[in-house]
């Protein structure tokens, strides 16, 4: 016989954070503070509506999903 417990794990509701940055220098600072990594970020060409970086994080407790978009063409390298 297999006994199945009735204890349910409670997950808190998803928490969503969204940030849009217009300037390349601000995008660099945001990425450095968010990930603790220094990057050389060079803008080659920007597409779209003037947004240099769009960041979305959905946190559901035990894990999180992050999406980073850099419209246009950028080059990144560790510093």
End-to-end CA separation in angstroms for the chain: 59
Residues facing residue 73 across a β-bridge: 45
CA R_g for the chain: 18
- Residue written as tokens 């920007």? 46
Q: DSSP of 50-73, one letter per residue?
A: S-SEEEEEEE-SS-EEEEEE--SE
pLDDT band at 18 (very low <50, low <70, confident <90, very high): very high
Residue-wise pLDDT tens digits, 50-60: 788 899 999 98
Query: What are the tens digits of pLDDT across the range 31-76?
Result: 888 888 777 777 666 666 678 889 999 998 889 999 998 877 767 7
Contact (CB, 8 A) for 16 and 32: no
């Amino acid at each position: 016989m297999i006994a199945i417990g009735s204890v349910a794990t409670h997950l808190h509701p998803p928490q969503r954070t969204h940030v849009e940055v217009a300037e390349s220098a601000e995008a660099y600072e945001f990425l450095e503070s968010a990930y603790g990594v220094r990057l050389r970020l060079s803008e080659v060409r920007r597409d779209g509506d003037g947004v240099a970086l769009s960041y979305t994080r959905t946190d559901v407790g035990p894990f999180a999903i992050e999406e980073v978009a850099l419209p246009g063409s950028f080059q990144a390298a560790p510093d």
